[in-house]
Structure 1
């Protein structure tokens, strides 16, 4: 790839870019990529965009023909994504200017700079591009394509993706974009995904979680492999070693005026700018947190402390157990057949998703909490809740009555004949506090659902008078899944028509 950049594109890559490519593109013995996912963290203005441009061109014009017996070129799709489509399109346009046949066909329509960027050898392999908004595509004569999409849209338009770039991973505030993109890569032979970014903050939950997991894996490697307890092969057989993390960052406790810190986090210093350039930004009054994250690669996350016990939560998971061939060995936690059941509803602060949760008693007297549905349009929520209630024989639904988006659902739910348990006033603090107690006292079980797990991991609470209540705005992820099951659990304990004797009549142990 380094040779391709020099000979065809006239680009002499910087030492850090060459080093990264040599290691990120390492191959296994059979020629497949060692890493299926590559995560890169480096300070701004170090040449990330140029690197992505070269990478996309090389994938498209060279790598698309690397394994014709497993993946034909006409099935090879490169997808460029970012938090919004305009950001993804910037790199796509840089790639297009290298291979656009229209430049040679109608040179008068293009600037001297655009004409100078053209690579005739690449143009000869390309078809006229599709540049209309919503269907942008660079297509080669062998059928390989490069498309773009916003990561929030759920990935590419094809059935599967061969190569993908997710730019500015720090901007991903939830797992939707990453999950959709990574799943489309799973069914493709020798696929690879690159995510590149500067360091993040408390809201950069995807980048933070991936980085934390990678560092934990490195610690495991040091304990077992570096100390000779296990061989490389033994370790690889029992651990996921398909993710590569490449990070340039300064020590967390470094001084903001320490030149060595800038050298560690900005590998392009000496290739177009010097340390004093970055120090001058600091002198101009740039906020410290901006310098630390975007220039020095240091994470600023101390302001967010999860409300629930995140170490206890995984211990309370009781999900289904499935054998390697898909047979259900155990269904996991479930509500007892005759238990009272309450639904809970909550909507994200941006109104994009409404989550439906459920709470009921298990046969051992512990609460079972579960997310059972999510809807993207609030107008459909009342009918969906009613349909679930009718199917399950549920009468009660708990929802916050004021001060949030979900409060507008209370009256439509009543009109559909459901008994609405309003979580408002003192109940807000009680519902939040009881959730804290249930987890701490191990008085509940859940099914290990990703949306709920992520909400628990990052949910924060704020003080309201003398109690704590859920804080949707300050939480770095959508905590509506957690609020929905929290409301349901509160409603289960607050149901006026159900007395303790009813639980005994149903053969349940009272928790």
Structure 2
């Protein structure tokens, strides 16, 4: 029996809709596809053709690009480099001479950049092999394209000064991101946008295209992590536009023409990614993130093979194109954590059940987190985040009010090496039983949380701030045990730290005397 061949999804999961029907009159993408087929002898994948048609949409005047910023997200090994190579060659030899009255070819500059020069060099090298007049090897002679060779004036491959100059005087140069600042550029390719952990390169390059009539910047990448500040910001802006479009245009509240007149429609997002909550071996999710499957060397089996030995975060980012908080192997397995999640009102808490609050403060003292731990009717610990606010001064009054309303006067706090320890004395004076979790026990407490998750004996609510910290938290070794490391973690893990000490106190510490038992019961949804 022959199994059906899998094919990746041509249409991205998240994308910006066109303002009108896309035809050869309303998108230059069709022209790029013809250029690739007829001149470069490159047969583009369906997803690449789809992207070019949608990304190179024209406004009503038939000459101006709709998008000035284009963000493309797709999993690794799907043909991003070839797409960039074809696009750069078409810009250099065709698009640069389209409107000499507005942008003389002499001023038409294409800049390819990335975090390091080697990444930026990959598409540039492909263009170089197509157009170089003096190929060095027989192999290079075979792939050289006479039409482009005749249109090329000079190729410089001196390290740090790589450029290709067309006979029209348009030119294509590459730079490392740290050297990105320069004269205005008509077109920019910012490869591996996820690696831009500061705004330096973006601030240097983005204004260069804005100063050009019909300038365009392409940011191409796979998914990012907590450090990918530029990609996160641009993606968020594009997603907000997509949501607004759905609310107003797709709902029928206004026409696309009317919407265009009152909104900035110049940012486009085209994201081939797996849904956030999918299993790592979900074939449909793999096909959504890997659109070249079935058309080239990439296969479902190749992607599945990468699961073996790969940290969860690495696999999801590179092969499912999913956003993760950090490129680390999570101390607590994310899938195990998700298995312990319950919806509000699904868990029954006995009347008068003992509750222990957990308190922690972010390492920069900007936020205080209060968590809760309680046993349900099946004697499983139920943990959740109760409060999360800026600053510290509000904590004593809030905790007193919380205890008076609930009858719960136990709080757990790490007693050494963290800002939260300064609340021990004030809360004790207010009448709380303060369970101090010292340095020798904080590692045991952290391990206990992981054990309960592994055993599926823990229950927690769906709370994004905590879920993010579970995925991105980093641990350190204290007395031969692993404990949460606030400083090295790429996200604020104080919420998880608060849950950790609350759970430890609930399961290992003696409760207070009976006179301060609870009279009001908080259900799971109330935490």
TM-score normalized by the length of structure 2? 0.58
Change (3 A) 1:92 1:186: same
2:55 is equivalent to residue 24 of structure 1 = yes
The aligned runs of 1:248-259 (5 Å cut-off) are: 248-259=272-283
Distance in 1 between residues matched to 2:216 and 2:100, nearest whole Å: 16
Find the counterpart in structure 2 of residue 148 from structure 1. 174
Q: Compute the displacement of 1:98 (Å).
A: 0.8
SS across alignment from 2:174: strand
Q: Compute the displacement of 1:232 (Å).
A: 2.0
Deviations 1:142-187 (A, max 9, x none): 11000111122233x4x21001100001111112111211011111
Match of 1:274 among 267, 280, 299: 299
SS across alignment from 1:68: coil
Match of 1:285 among 309, 334, 356: 309
Change (3 A) 1:200 1:463: farther
Q: Compute the displacement of 1:233 (Å).
A: 3.1
Q: Compute the displacement of 1:96 (Å).
A: 0.7
Find the counterpart in structure 2 of residue 14 from structure 1. 45
Q: Are the aligned partners of 2:325 and 2:490 in contact in 1 as well (CA < 8 Å)?
A: no
Find the counterpart in structure 2 of residue 39 from structure 1. 71
Q: Compute the displacement of 1:62 (Å).
A: 0.3
The aligned runs of 1:98-497 (5 Å cut-off) are: 98-103=130-135, 110-155=136-181, 157=182, 159-271=183-295, 272-282=297-307, 284-301=308-325, 436-437=390-391, 465-467=417-419, 474-475=489-490
Q: Are the aligned partners of 1:39 and 1:196 in contact in 2 as well (CA < 8 Å)?
A: yes
Distance in 1 between residues matched to 2:212 and 2:420, nearest whole Å: 47
Q: Compute the displacement of 1:29 (Å).
A: 2.1
Q: Compute the displacement of 1:228 (Å).
A: 2.2
Distance in 2 between residues matched to 1:82 and 1:464, nearest whole Å: 43
SS across alignment from 2:77: coil
Distance in 1 between residues matched to 2:33 and 2:364, nearest whole Å: 61
Q: Are the aligned partners of 1:429 and 1:468 in contact in 2 as well (CA < 8 Å)?
A: no
Q: Are the aligned partners of 1:205 and 1:476 in contact in 2 as well (CA < 8 Å)?
A: no
Q: Compute the displacement of 1:212 (Å).
A: 1.5
Q: Which runs of 5+ in 2 are unaligned?
A: 1-31, 329-361, 369-388, 396-413, 422-484, 493-527
Distance in 2 between residues matched to 1:83 and 1:440, nearest whole Å: 43
Distance in 2 between residues matched to 1:475 and 1:253, nearest whole Å: 21
Distance in 1 between residues matched to 2:258 and 2:206, nearest whole Å: 26
Q: Compute the displacement of 1:234 (Å).
A: 3.2
SS across alignment from 1:166: strand
SS across alignment from 1:123: helix
Distance in 2 between residues matched to 1:26 and 1:20, nearest whole Å: 10
Q: Are the aligned partners of 2:113 and 2:120 in contact in 1 as well (CA < 8 Å)?
A: yes
Q: Are the aligned partners of 2:325 and 2:491 in contact in 1 as well (CA < 8 Å)?
A: no
SS across alignment from 1:128: strand
The aligned runs of 1:62-101 (5 Å cut-off) are: 62-101=94-133
SS across alignment from 2:38: helix
Change (3 A) 1:430 1:302: closer
Q: Are the aligned partners of 1:168 and 1:197 in contact in 2 as well (CA < 8 Å)?
A: yes
The aligned runs of 1:52-63 (5 Å cut-off) are: 52-63=84-95
Change (3 A) 1:436 1:20: same
Deviations 1:190-238 (A, max 9, x none): 0111111011111111111211221111111111112222332332233
Q: Are the aligned partners of 2:363 and 2:486 in contact in 1 as well (CA < 8 Å)?
A: no
SS across alignment from 2:391: helix
Q: Compute the displacement of 1:471 (Å).
A: 6.8
Distance in 1 between residues matched to 2:222 and 2:262, nearest whole Å: 31
Distance in 1 between residues matched to 2:278 and 2:209, nearest whole Å: 39
Change (3 A) 1:287 1:433: closer
Alignment length (residue pairs): 325
Q: Compute the displacement of 1:475 (Å).
A: 4.7
**Over alpha carbons, which structure has the higher Rg?**
2
CA RMSD, aligned part only? 2.9
Distance in 2 between residues matched to 1:219 and 1:127, nearest whole Å: 47
Distance in 1 between residues matched to 2:179 and 2:394, nearest whole Å: 38
